[in-house]
């Protein structure tokens, strides 16, 4: 009888341990799902290329194994085809940033704007075979976009991407690298995803210097680096009133 009771106890303990393991495993699974909800995303974006600095930016991105999005100016592509091909071949995304970047004429009327984007699209296609429809307004869409214009852009298949954090290198390219870094990580509102505006024209040498620290910061914070493509939800500033 005593032996029988011991056997019963052993079986009971065994069944209990199985139950606890299952529950524990289940909890772990739930935790994993919750973790995914907290995922943080950053889109590194570089405007105004290609230029003599674009290669340096690409080298840094390669070193840290992260991808970015380049909004290119169409009339800068001729003669710099190799660097544009390199952007695409290394897995980055390309977008349209007008053909001339001459804001006075680009924004003189909507048709002019669309022509500039289409011309830029043709130029990128000529060099890379990629037909991209993601666009960034030169100097941003603020006070330039309204619902009627948005409809016209949609008709052309364009998707708009402004930014929510500005490194400050566009207006003041000579800003010290450490200052650019600080501005690039300033996110008091906790924006997620982060769409970080940077530039890679010939004058943005300090951006090249600041970039490694910016990437390291976001990597350490657990951000995932993604490229903007046609599946990325649009992001644009509020329409002008
Ligand atoms: Zn620009």
The tens digit of pLDDT for each residue in 105-147 reads 999 999 999 999 999 999 999 999 999 999 999 999 999 999 9
* pLDDT for residue 1: 60
Separation of CA 72 and ligand 1 centre (Å): 8
Tell me what pLDDT residue 26 has.
36
**Distance from the alpha carbon of residue 139 to the mean position of ligand 1, in angstroms:** 6
Query: 190 C-alpha vs ligand 1 centroid, how far in Å?
Result: 25
Regions of the chain where pLDDT drops below 70: 1-37, 240-241
Token duo for residue 203: 């004058």
C-alpha of residue 71 to centroid of ligand 1, in Å: 8
Structure tokens at 109: 């009327």
> What are the Cα distances from residue 168, in Å, to 27, 94, 185?
45, 21, 11
Alpha-carbon span 158 to 227, nearest angstrom: 16
**Which pLDDT does position 239 carry in this prediction?**
87
**Sign of torsion over alpha carbons 121, 122, 126, 129:** positive
Would you state the structure tokens that stand for residue 149, as one six-digit string?
């214009």
Q: Which residues are catalytic?
A: 47, 199
> Sign of torsion, CA 76 82 83 87?
positive
d(CA 164, CA 193): 9
**Cα(16) to centroid(ligand 1), Å:** 65
Nearest-10 Cα torsion for 166, 69, 36, 218: -50
């Amino acid at each position: 009888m005593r032996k029988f009771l011991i056997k019963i106890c052993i079986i009971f303990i065994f069944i209990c341990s199985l139950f606890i393991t299952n529950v524990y495993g289940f909890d772990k699974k739930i935790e994993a799902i919750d973790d995914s909800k907290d995922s943080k995303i950053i889109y590194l974006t570089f405007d105004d290329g290609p230029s003599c600095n674009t290669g340096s930016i690409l080298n840094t991105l390669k070193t840290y194994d992260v991808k970015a999005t380049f909004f290119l100016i169409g009339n800068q592509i001729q003669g710099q085809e190799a660097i544009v091909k390199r952007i695409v071949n290394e897995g980055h995304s390309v977008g349209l940033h007008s053909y001339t970047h001459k804001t006075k004429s680009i924004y003189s009327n909507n048709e002019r704007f669309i022509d500039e984007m289409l011309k830029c699209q043709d130029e990128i296609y000529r060099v890379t075979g990629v037909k991209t429809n993601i666009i960034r307004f030169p100097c941003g869409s603020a006070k330039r976009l309204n619902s009627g214009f948005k409809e016209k852009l949609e008709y052309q298949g364009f998707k708009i991407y402004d930014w929510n954090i500005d490194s400050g290198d566009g207006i003041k390219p000579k800003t010290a690298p450490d200052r650019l870094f600080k501005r690039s990580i300033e996110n008091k509102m906790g924006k997620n995803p982060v769409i970080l505006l940077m530039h890679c024209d010939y004058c943005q040498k300090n951006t090249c210097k600041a970039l490694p620290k910016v990437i390291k910061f976001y990597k350490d914070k657990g951000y995932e680096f993604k490229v903007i493509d046609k599946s990325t939800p649009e992001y644009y500033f509020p329409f002008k009133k």
